[in-house]
Structure 1
């Protein structure tokens, strides 16, 4: 397995994101992922920088560590032709270290352009068309496209990396898993869904990477780490079907009012007991995931997490999951 470091734009100022990834590269993480939002889920998280500006800085500030969006929605806030251009540019700036992670999005971020929020069926249709456009533009030729949802008029990307940017597609159900198997170089999920991984493999994804993410709350004081996890991650307890539909941070706050700390810690390893983290990784490995990134809770706790991960967590995980 490969172990990555998550840059969470929604909790961290943009300049610190760059410093954190430099530190993660020095600590020996295998790769990195970064979120792409317009809003944080909760206002108290306090940030949400434009990820493509940050990616340019990350590409120049680091030398080795692979970069990946986790994930970009190419169906409303961004036109897919523009996503293709942005991704190709980051691919060039990073000397081929960039993977474009794509997903069908959340109302939270996409409603800002004033087009409403389509049903899940329509979003999947839009997603499939968007990926077709992006892949065609990565080919380097002029592209004309006339679909149900998008039109592209004689578009061409002039700055492309030596090899096309790999595409990862997010899936939380069998339909999205089949779509990823048809179009993607990798599968992405924020849940350890073994059935979706099997659909992906059976549809043509056998041997391709499968990316997951574990939110964690490292700290030597377990009670403090648990409280911190609850403050930052309580928004996620209602599950993806609810999260995809909520329109803003106030709605997430309302949905999370009854979430208890113990509801959060079921999915978020807390404290400094490595066995908690090993058990979490084992669950994802059993579901067929090949890549796991860790999203440490709290912008002020990144440095101490990286030091602990370098000295203890990463060596232990590599020994057990080689």
Structure 2
């Protein structure tokens, strides 16, 4: 299984993200994920740098492949612009860029006052957006008048040598079916073997499946749990709230109902390498090909050292 490092744009400064990427490469991680957010989930996370600037910087700082996890190419930024941004990133990384996409969250996409569509409409928009991006990556002049988007006389001139792979995030059956139909791969953040099997049987076949989990490295499990709860109380917010709540303040309000124990369930806390190996094994058994780990809190170097010495050599 390929093990990568997940750069959390919501929690770390641009300089810290670059340092983590360089450290991940030295530690032996094989690839990078990076989140694409306009806001952090809660103010305690405190950051949210522009992902396309960050990928440009990362491409010059290390040689690891990079996937966005995930970009919403439907509301906040028009898919024709995402097509240009992704193409430039693919060129800068020497073809080692993959575009992870999803239907997004109101938290990031509502900022212009647009209505936040229902799930079925967001999936329609995502399919049309992917169609537009792929057409632009062919290099010709594109005009498109569809149900959700208009493109007129657009051409992306700076293109990579090979087509950009699009991986599609999906949390439920309908989204997984869309991922199988339009994606070169599937993304999910829970080791759910049923959804992986659905993706493969619905047409995804042997295409890559990527997963991810969060960690809070610390001197003890208890200290890691405290850090996780301080920085990511939203990890315990249930259901579709993560897609519909519009601001960090709303997530903070919802998180008041979340306990530290609930957040701990979503994290690997502390410094026990066996706990990380067991979590990675859950994703392997669920059928994922790649898994990415993100750290929360100030001790990210400790997590990189832990993986270099005790986790990656055993995988």
- In the superposition, the TM-score normalised over structure 2's length comes to 0.97
- Secondary structure of 1:269 counterpart: strand
Pairing 1:311–2:309 present: yes
Distance, in Å, in 1 between the alignment partners of 2:294 and 2:263 is 14
Aligned to 1:49: 49
- Secondary structure of 2:44 counterpart: helix
> 81-90 or 228-237: which moved more?
228-237
**Structure 1 residues 34 and 240, CA gap change in structure 2 (3 angstroms):** farther
Structure 1 segments (4+ residues) deviating >6 Å: none
**Structure 1 residues 251 and 257, CA gap change in structure 2 (3 angstroms):** same
Aligned to 2:11: 11
Aligned to 2:133: 134
Aligned to 2:37: 37
Task: For residues 93-145 of structure 1, give each alpha carbon's deviation from its aligned partner in whole angstroms, at most 9, with x where no partner exists.
Answer: 11011000001000000010211211111111111111111111112222221
Distance, in Å, in 1 between the alignment partners of 2:66 and 2:171 is 22
Pairing 1:61–2:61 present: yes
- Secondary structure of 1:265 counterpart: helix
> 267-276 or 122-131: which moved more?
267-276
Matched-pair contact (CA < 8 Å) for 2:273–2:306: no
* 1:273 CA drift (Å): 1.8
Aligned to 2:274: 275
Matched-pair contact (CA < 8 Å) for 1:214–1:268: yes
Which structure 2 residues correspond to residues 1-322 of structure 1 after superposition, within 5 A?
Answer: 1-63=1-63, 65-298=64-297, 300-316=298-314, 318=315
Matched-pair contact (CA < 8 Å) for 2:186–2:209: yes
Distance, in Å, in 1 between the alignment partners of 2:277 and 2:266 is 13
Task: For residues 41-92 of structure 1, give each alpha carbon's deviation from its aligned partner in whole angstroms, at most 9, with x where no partner exists.
Answer: 00111100111001100001112x1111000000100100000000000000
Distance, in Å, in 1 between the alignment partners of 2:184 and 2:138 is 15
Distance, in Å, in 1 between the alignment partners of 2:122 and 2:83 is 19
* 1:24 CA drift (Å): 0.8
Matched-pair contact (CA < 8 Å) for 1:24–1:306: yes
Matched-pair contact (CA < 8 Å) for 1:174–1:195: no
* 1:278 CA drift (Å): 2.2
- Secondary structure of 1:42 counterpart: coil
Distance, in Å, in 2 between the alignment partners of 1:195 and 1:249 is 31
**Structure 1 residues 240 and 103, CA gap change in structure 2 (3 angstroms):** farther
- Secondary structure of 1:293 counterpart: strand
- Secondary structure of 1:244 counterpart: helix
Distance, in Å, in 2 between the alignment partners of 1:190 and 1:221 is 24
Distance, in Å, in 2 between the alignment partners of 1:240 and 1:285 is 25
> 116-125 or 89-98: which moved more?
116-125
Task: For residues 267-314 of structure 1, give each alpha carbon's deviation from its aligned partner in whole angstroms, at most 9, with x where no partner exists.
Answer: 21111222222222222222211110001111x211121111101111
- Secondary structure of 1:71 counterpart: coil
- Secondary structure of 1:44 counterpart: coil
Distance, in Å, in 2 between the alignment partners of 1:308 and 1:211 is 22
- Secondary structure of 1:104 counterpart: coil
Task: For residues 131-162 of structure 1, give each alpha carbon's deviation from its aligned partner in whole angstroms, at most 9, with x where no partner exists.
Answer: 11111111222222111101111211111111
